[in-house]
Structures are given as structure tokens and as C-alpha cells.
Amino acid sequence: MTRAAAGEPGRGTARAGDDVESLVARTLSELSLREKVGQLNQRLLGWEAVERRGGRWRLTDAFLREAERWSGIGALYGVLRADAWSGRSWDDGIGPDDRREVVELVQDAVRGASPRSIGALIVEEAPHGHQALGGTVLPTNLALAATWDPDLVREAGEAVAAELWSSGVDIALVSGLDVLRDPRWGRGEECFGESAALAAEMARAVVEGMQGRDRGRLGAGGVGVVMKHFAAQGEAAGGRNGQSSIIGARDLEEIHLRPARTAVSAGAVGLMAAYNDIDGVPCCANPWLLTTWLREQEGFDGIVMADGLAVDRLAALAGTLRGAGRLALLSGVDMSLWDEGFTTLVETAVEDAAVANAVDEACRRVLRLKARLGLLRAPDPAAAPGAGAEPFSRTGADLDTARRNTERISARAARESLVALTGDLCPLAGIGGPVAVLGPYAEDMECFLGDYVSPLPPERRTSVRAELGRMRPVIDGPAGFEENPGAFREASAVVLVLGGTSQRSYADEFDANGAARATVATSGEGVDLADVSLPEDQVDLVWRVRAATAAPLAVVIVSGRPLVLTGIEEPADSILWAGYAGPHGPAAVAEALTGAYRPAGRLPVTLLADPGAIPLHHDDRHPGEDVYRDTPRPVLHAFADHRLGAGDPAVDNLTVEWPERNRATIRVHLDGGRPEGGEAVVAVFARRTGGSVVPRLSELLAFGRLKVPGEGLACEWSVSATDLFGSDDDGTACELWTDPRHRCVVTSRR
């Protein structure tokens, strides 16, 4: 059971002790200006730092030159990354058995180049599992959000961190701060949905899972987390990636800064400044965002990393690369990513005292993080317990065990992420005879994996068609309708697998920051769309199949963005939303269709009836109904929508009590449904009235995913008066509800 209310617990930022601060201060005093600037740079694409020659991994000349240039290296990005952009595959990439060897090779060279033996931060992408060969792949964030289960996300974060730790990795780059406000944006799959409350709790779970509560597992089986992207990237105008977010201060604070505040309170050691600008000011050049709000107001003590090449993009604003580096540093960026602008800080600092001081402060923060991770060597280990540890003496690190654990969690997450939208929850249960499985993604594996994913080994390939075939007879023949129309006369049911994919091909072209240029993908970075309707040929296929058979027709939607599904609502007997459920997605879908598992997930987004109504959200201040003359009912499936099956646990009571003057207790009781009970997601919504601000139509106040026994279950949340009546403290009432049947109004604070 998880709180989504405001009034979050005290920040667990675990300030460094005097021992670490002493080590950092001494190290900083001994570094030259060039070495300090080197600690702020992360220029290399890590997969270009090593190569295999004669059956052995060796360092490249480019890496050795970089280490010599700065007498060490601040951070190295993506040494183990494997995907279409890096070009690394199972043929030439770094396999699981080679990871530690390669990272140790790199670290030995970095320490050897540094007069103070400072190691590099080994930084890897882990938006939904480690993006390395053999790295366990999880469902993407949008699918994880559909579980409404932060405890599961916390457990997944811990498991992925164990994989990373066992591989010698120090820092994970993890999406989790973006709130999806426009489905046209291609990176919607990286978001935990459209609700700031849901996204904030999931962000907390990621940080606590990967770092431990109060950073307790840093340097001891956990890795540091740089949460991205900061801030308001999900609000970019028209859903255009990295462009202007035109948003007022109130919505910025309440929607887009809330996940960041929660990540900071959970102890995240880093945030990544986003590409977009907010009302014209780029995030990487925004001192109010990166310094005033983040450090002075929220007490953040970690590092701010720029997104890839974001510093150099400031040259259009600052006039030169040198000006771009200065602007980003003085605004609050501590570490660049692949940029040239930060390399110019040596020359700039000689001439500009403000830059010299800012270099010292940024370097201090980087060194503090390295000390926590065991990358600084203390002259006297007794003076800094733990800070002088060798980075690779990782006691108990067992990659194989970690991967098995993460696979188990990935399979569970795939099942929990499924959302039944219409019709029977398990449409094939009780139906005998063969099933026809068709559609563009019926025999596709990659469509379930999302963007930022490494290739799976060939033996892991499967599909919905293959997984259903393990459970019941599936009609032989091609998956295409035109090639085998006669099969429909034999089919007892038809399953259509539709939607989209974020698959990247090794033949694709990429921008300098890795975004796809020409690609078959329909979602992901660099794939913004003006029209998010289900493709016309897929809608046409549903209608043609419907015309060819009277058998039950089940549609599975695999997608990384909220698609408009209006065209298939009528012909389909049931619709199952699967997001990008990960490598175990096909098996989870087969289980749900046949009744081996009853889906209990909820939509983390609003599905609209018409693409022209974008954007609309559950927490808007004004309704969208009866506004458009051509689409008077613009919402097809509301945020948190799901199909409740007969006998599934359901809410039967909602009450609010005031055990304290300024704190209320919300109590919800669920009946158990069938004798064996089942899973249920409980979501409590609120709408304030009174005050000086137009209230939102609904706000997610509290939620949890529960296993409900047959006799039923009671759950409760403690919330503050501010949660109910607003921070301006002049609200007069608050209506709460879990569904249309269970509502109550709170008007006093006894």
C-alpha cells in the first residue's frame, strides 16, 4: 500500500560525514585546474573506449588520449551499452562474462593516469533494465505505471542495481521525472504516466530500490541514480521533443517539479538537466531551476548532469562553445555529457574568477559522489572509513544470481502491467478449439521491448502467437489475414496483436545524441507524431476480420504511447492494453487471454476518442466534454480506467476520520469477490472547492495495489489537511472518491 499524498517524509539525503568531506577537501586542494575540469567532463562514448583484438579486450587510442589529457577521467558513459546506435551486438559486444574484466581494465587505466589515483564514474543507461548484452529488460515505465505498484518498482530497482553493481557500474541513468502531458511526444514510454502523484511515488521507489533507503546501499550492492529529465520535458509544445515548455509557475510546481522533489527527498545522487526550455530558458541554463529551486530550496547535494550534447546546444544562445560551457556551469550544471563546451572551462576559469569558483564547487560535488562510491583513495584509510575502498572489491557480487532475480521480477511486472479495457478479462477462457492469432505484431518480440534496450539473444525470441501455441491449439499458417482467410472458418476465437513499436534497426540512422532519424519505429526518442490514432490499416484489419467471422475477437494493444482506439471499440469483443510489457510480455498476454492470470492493472494515462482533442488529462481544471462540436465526448478511456470482472475484489466502503487536528485517515474496505480473492488496485481521488484557485477536476490522493483475500481487506492512508484543502489553506471542502459509487465530502478539520 502506497501513499501518493503530499506531506512527504523528511529528505533522506544522507549528508557525507566529516571523514568523506575531509578526503574531498584534501583531494580538491591537490588537483590542478586542468584536473578539476577533467572531473567535470564525460566526453567519450564508452563503447568506443575499448575494442577486441586477438581475442582480448584492449583500450583504444582515443580513450588513452582522453585519460592523458585530463590526468584521469571524470566519468565514462556507456562502456557496456549495446544497441543499434552503439552498433554493439552479440557478435562484437561485451557479454556478461566480460563486463567486470572490461570495467577493471578501464578503471586501472584511469587510476594510473591520475596522480591521486581517482577512479572514473562508470555510467550506464538503465531506464528499464541495464542496456547491456545480457542485461535484464523490464517493462518500460509507462507499462510499469499501469501496475500502480511502487513496491514492485522498488524491488525491480534493487534487482537491476545488483546487476549493475556486479558488473562494476557506479551510476545508472534512469528515466522517471518526466510526466506525460502530450501523447504526441515519442518518449512517452519513459514516463510513469500523466499523474504527478503516480510519477512521484514511482520515482521514489526507483531511487530507494537502486540506492537503498537513505542511500544505505551506495557502495554496498547498490548504485547511484541520476534521475532524468529535469524538468517539464513532458510538457513540450505540440509533443515536440526538447522544445519549449510553455507553462505557468503553479503547474510547473505542482506537476513537473513534484517527481523531482520526491526523488531528491529519497536521496537521488544526481539529476539530469533536460533539453527543453521553460518559457524560453533552457534547463541547462536555468539558474533558478538548477540552483535556487533545486539546491537552495530543496537542499539537493548531488550532481547535475547535462543531457547528451545539451551544453553545446547553448552555443546558439551564448554565441560560442566557450560561452555555452560558462553559461551551463554558472547556471548549476556540474557534469557534461559528450560536449566540447565544458572542455573550454580551463581557459575560461583563468580569466574569470566566478568560473574558477564554480569549477571548484562542481568538482567538490563530483568528488564527494566518488568518495561515497569508493572511487577516491584516502592516504590513511582510518581517516575516511570506506572511502578508500577498491571499487571492484564488491563483496558478494554475483551477476548470475542478480540476473535470475531480475528476470523473476520482470515476469511479474509484465503480468501486473496488463489492463483490460473492454469485454471479458480473459476472453479465451472456456473456449475450446483452435485460435487464430493475427496482426502486425502477432509474431513480433521486439515490439514489447521499447526504446533504450539491448538486443536479446536469439533463444529468448518469442511472440504472442508462440506463447498461445504453448497453451492451446493455434491455427497453422501465416499471420496475415489476406494469405489465410479460410482459417477464420475454423477458428473458435481470433486474437489480433496491434499497436506500435520502438524497435531500432542496426541499419537505422541516428542523430549525434542517439535519437533515431529514419526508422520503422512508431515510438521512442526522435519519433514524435502529429497523429496518434491507431494506424488506419490496423483499424481496417479489425473490421475485415470482424466481417469474416462471428467468433470472439480479442484485440491486444502493444504501445509506448496513449493511442486513439476509437475505430476498434465497436468490432472488438475485448481489448487488452499491454504497453511495452518487456520480454515476458508475450507470455503474460497469453496467460491473461486464457485465464491463467486475471489482469488488474489500470491505465496510467487518458485515452482520447479523437487525436484533435489532445491534450486532455484527468487533473485539468476544466472539462473537455461538450466543448468540441465534432467530438462532444473526447475521452474514450479515463485515467485509471480498467475493466472489473465478475467476482473480482472491489471497493465497498470509503470513510474519512480526523484522529488529529491537521491529519485525516482515509479508510477503504474491499470485498474479496470470489472465495480465493484476487488482486486489486485502489485509487483515491480528490477535488477541492473554495479558495482562490480554480480546482483541478480530480487529483490522485492515494493509491495501492493489494492482494485481497476472499474475506475482504481494509486499508488506510494518513493525509494532511494540506493534502485535502490545498497549500493556500483557504479551501472549504474536498470531495473524495474511489469510483462513482463511493464518495464522501470532507468539510471540517476536527
Where do the domains of the chain lie, and which CATH numbers do they carry? 17-401 (3.20.20.300), 418-637 (3.40.50.1700), 650-746 (2.60.40.10)
- Look at residue 331 and give its three-state secondary structure: helix
Whole-angstrom CA distances from 220 to 14, 183, 386 are 15, 39, 10
CB 523 within 8 A of CB 561: yes
pTM value?
Answer: 0.93
The DSSP bridge partners found for residue 679 are 707
Name the burial class of residue 15, with classes exposed (0-12), middle (13-18) and buried (19+) by CB atoms within 10 angstroms of its CB.
exposed
The set of residues, in sequence order, having a beta carbon less than 8 Å from that of 127 and lying 6+ positions away, is 140, 141, 173, 174, 175, 190, 452
H helices of 319-471, where? 321-331, 345-351, 353-372, 399-416, 464-469
Judged by DSSP in three states, 741 sits in coil
The DSSP call for residue 516 is B
SS3 499: strand
CB 414 within 8 A of CB 587: yes
Show the CA angle centred on residue 73, arms to residues 68 and 75, nearest 5°. 155
Residue 410 to residue 407: CA distance in whole angstroms: 5
- Rg of the chain over Cα atoms, rounded to whole angstroms, equals 26
CA distance 262 to 268: 9
Q: Where are the beta strands (DSSP E) in 500-641?
A: 553-558, 574-579, 607-608, 635-637
Torsion of CA 345, 347, 349, 350, to 10 degrees: 170
| Residues 563, 569: Cα–Cα separation, whole Å | 13
Which pLDDT does position 730 carry in this prediction?
57
Nearest to 415 by CA among 126, 183, 149: 149
Quote the strand ranges of 419-510, DSSP E: 419-422, 435-438, 493-499
Distance CA 519, CA 507 (A): 9
- Say how many CA atoms lie within 13 Å of 655 toward its Cβ: 10
- Cα distances (Å, whole numbers) of residue 343 to 42, 43, 323, 388: 10, 9, 11, 28
Q: Which residue has the cell 541499419?
A: 507
The H or E element that residue 585 is part of is helix 585-594
Please list, in sequence order, all residues whose beta carbon lies within 8 angstroms of the beta carbon of residue 434, skipping any fewer than 6 positions away. 472, 473, 474, 475, 490, 491, 492
Cis peptide upstream of residue 229 (ω within 30 degrees of 0):
yes
Tell me if 418 sits within 8 A of 576, measured CB to CB: yes
- Cα–Cα distance, 716 to 596 (Å, whole number): 30
For the segment 674-694, what is each residue's pLDDT rounded down to a tens digit? 888 899 999 999 998 887 889
DSSP 8-state assignment for residue 383: G
Tell me which residue of 441, 471, 424 sits closest to 578, measured CA to CA. Answer: 441
First-to-last alpha carbon distance for the chain, in angstroms, is 26
Q: Which residues of the chain have pLDDT under 50?
A: 3, 5-16, 381-392, 750
The distance from CA 512 to its chain's CA centroid, rounded to whole angstroms, is 22
Q: What is the pLDDT of residue 453?
A: 94
Beta bridge partners of 53: 56
CA 736 – CA 744 distance, rounded (Å): 5
DSSP state of 245: B
d(Cα 714, Cα 668) in Å, to the nearest integer?
A: 6
- Which cell numbers hold the place of 433? 478449439
- Give the count of alpha carbons within 13 A of 36, CB side only: 27
For residue range 303-332, what is the model confidence (pLDDT) as tens digits?
999 999 999 999 999 999 999 999 999 999
Distance CA 375, CA 682 (A): 44
Q: Which amino acid is residue 263, in one-letter code?
A: A
The pLDDT assigned to 748 comes to 65
CA dist., res. 247 & res. 256, Å (int): 10
> Are the C-beta atoms of 228 and 173 separated by less than 8 Å?
yes
CA distance 498 to 444: 10
Helices 399-416 and 585-594: crossing angle, nearest 10°? Answer: 40
User: What is the identity of the amino acid at 254?
Assistant: E
Contact yes or no for 371/219 (Cβ under 8 A)? no
464 phi and psi angles, rounded to 5 deg:
-60, -40
Residue tagged 537503498 (cell numbers): 212
